[in-house]
Structure 1
Amino acid sequence: MLAQSQLDFYQENGYLLVEGMFTSEEAARFRQEAHDLIARLQAVTNVEATWGSARKVAMAPTSLLHCHNVQFQSALFTRLLVDERLTEAAAQIIGSPNVQLHHNKLFIKPPEKGSPFPMHQDYPFFPHTRHTMIAAIIHFDDAPEEKGCVRVVPGSHKLGPIEHEREGGWHLPLEQYPLEAAVACPARAGDVLFFSYLTIHGSGVNVSHEPRTTLLVQMRDPTDPPTELVHLSRGQGMMLRGVDPSAGTATPPGQG
């Protein structure tokens, strides 16, 4: 799925944008499914997910709509999670034939006020022993800079875990890690951005006239146990590729 040059880029920089993993037609179907799902949920529950710390970045009221565990809401998304294009690339990056779901989140950044994410590592939210955890952000529509695309600090995964501030959601000091200093990763519909959970990243405000729609999938080697029983979810432990070698033995931490 991935060329050696792409894997080398990931190892050096801690992220990789895979262009055109899904077709524009597929992305359009995913986008429609995502917006239909959020519309259904809005009628019965709160889908707002803006971090408290995001207000310090945006300096104005913003909004972010979300849904966890999309595989329990839509068969189309279930098929997406186990799509071989996604899981084979993930296996190459993780370095294991077995890929296990940790969690997933659907995000819609509304037009003109879509909430930002301050710079952070994902590690503090769900630390693991061998740091095999990766994220894949699947873009359902175009994500140029004005839509608040993801920004990364290349090579920051080599620094290991960094101390974060907790107020308003785990994030790095805003003055030391400003969003605008990070490298922007604009993407097209169907592109997938992979990065290590140690890679420093964030995203800006969507100031465009269109929403930005993405699915975040967090995956790991099933033999890499968490160091803390945190960020547990209903779908955690679902095998996306291969097998769970620990099956039939003692239950790994966080999966019981």
Structure 2
Amino acid sequence: MTEAEMVSFYQEHGYLLVKGLISAEEARAYRDECHAVLARLRPSDPTWGSARRIAGGATELRHCHDAQFYSAAFARLMLDPRFTDVAAALMGSENVQLHHTKIFVKPAEKGSPFPMHQDAAHFPHTRHTVGAAIFHFDDAPEEKGCVRVVPGSHRDGPLPHVEEGGWHLPPSRWPLAEAVPIEARAGDVLFLGYLTVHGSGVNRSGEARTTLLVQYRDPEDRPAGDVHRSRGQGMMLRGIDPTAA
């Protein structure tokens, strides 16, 4: 797929899966690094209450914010032109600025789901350039709780979310099961606009699902409120910050 085709697909559907952006060997090394980082940290489970209701029982999620502060491997990956060039093209900006990072591991057999939501509800911006890159460090078939999207939903703009049990869209109107599953292989990267409605299912497989999320923006796209600060926010991943005083 050419760059123009990628941009066209992203603009129409609100997401783009780039196959093999990093090699399977690199993905395995990053997977090991994710699990090593989490093993050194105090366990933290951010599973939403609404997610447990969807799962119908106890589930578990391992995660860590600001991954680049725990391992230089993730700092190198955030600056990799294979990633930043795609992010820049999809935003239509030469400049790519970091918003935040997260490691997510859905443990085998009971990995927590995420109800359908827009990232924009958590950190709204004025120009809506914010995007996410989800790096898959092992295979993510549907049975492992892969990401599910509603293609074209970004064109509806910001939607009202339900605060109870998390910050998500009403499940009756936005059922997880009706969203399109985006199955991925180790080394694939899923790019999502922050207005694109998405969620993910329960990992019912015998293996963990390991991903790194890198959320980014055009530096000229300012936050609409003082929310969701992170230690690394504002770091330039590509280009310059034209707003710097």
TM-score range, shorter chain: over 0.9
**1:219 corresponds to 2:213:** no
Mapping of 1:82-93 within 5 angstroms? 82-93=79-90
> 1:56, CA displacement in angstroms?
1.4
Q: Does 1:201 align with 2:198?
A: yes
Look up the SS of the partner of 1:12 in the other structure: helix
Q: State the alpha-carbon separation in 2 of the partners of residues 83 and 47 from structure 1.
A: 29
Quote the offset at 1:3 in angstroms. Answer: 2.2
2: CA distance, partners of 1:107 / 1:241: 24
State the alpha-carbon separation in 2 of the partners of residues 3 and 236 from structure 1.
Answer: 27
2:227 paired residue among 214, 224, 230: 230
Q: Does 1:142 align with 2:126?
A: no
The one-character-per-residue Cα deviations of 1:96-144 (angstroms, maximum 9, x if unpaired) are 0000000010000000000000000011100000000001100000000
Moved over 3 A (4+): none
1:30 aligns with 2:30: yes
What amino acid is the match of 1:148? G
Q: One-letter code of the match for 2:78?
A: L
Report the CA distance between 1:2 and its aligned residue: 5.0
Identity %: 64
Q: 1:2 to 1:132 in 2, by over 3 A?
A: farther
Task: Tell me how many residue pairs correspond in the alignment.
Answer: 245
Kindly state the Cα deviation for residue 164 of structure 1 after the two structures are TM-superposed. 0.5
The one-character-per-residue Cα deviations of 1:56-110 (angstroms, maximum 9, x if unpaired) are 1101100000001111110111100100000000000011000000001000000
Match for 2:52: what amino acid? Answer: R
Which of 160, 168, 173 is the matching residue for 1:171?
168
Instruction: Report if aligned partners of 1:134, 1:220 keep a CA contact under 8 Å in 2.
Output: yes
In the alignment, does 2:11 pair up with 1:11?
Answer: yes
Q: What is the identity, as a one-letter code, of the residue corresponding to 2:33?
A: E
Contact 1:2 1:89 in 2 (8 A): no
Counterpart selection for 1:98 from 95, 98, 122:
95
Residue pair 1:103, 1:236 contacting (<8 A) in 2 also: yes
Structure 2 residue ranges without an equivalent (≥5):
none
| Structure 2 CA distance for aligned equivalents of residues 95 and 220 of structure 1 | 11
Question: Secondary structure in 1 aligned to 2:221?
Answer: coil
1:29 deviates by 0.4
For 1:240 and 1:53, how far apart are their aligned partners in 2? 34
User: Which amino acid in structure 1 is aligned with residue 17 of structure 2?
Assistant: L
* 2:3–2:89 Cα contact (<8 Å) kept: no
Report the 3-state secondary structure (helix = DSSP H, G, I; strand = E; otherwise coil) of the residue aligned with 1:142.
coil
With normalisation by structure 2, the TM-score equals: 0.98
- From 241, 245, 253, the equivalent of 2:242 is 245
RMSD over aligned CA atoms reads: 0.9
Shift of 1:46: 3.3
Match of 2:75 among 75, 78, 82: 78
2: CA distance, partners of 1:117 / 1:223? 30
Question: Once the 2 structures are TM-superposed, how far is the Cα of residue 247 of structure 1 from its aligned partner?
Answer: 1.2
Quote the residue 1:192 is aligned against. Answer: 189
Instruction: Give the aligned residue type for 1:7.
Output: V
TM-score (norm 1): 0.94
> Which residue, out of 104, 108, 122, partners 1:125?
122
Name the amino acid aligned to 2:187.
G
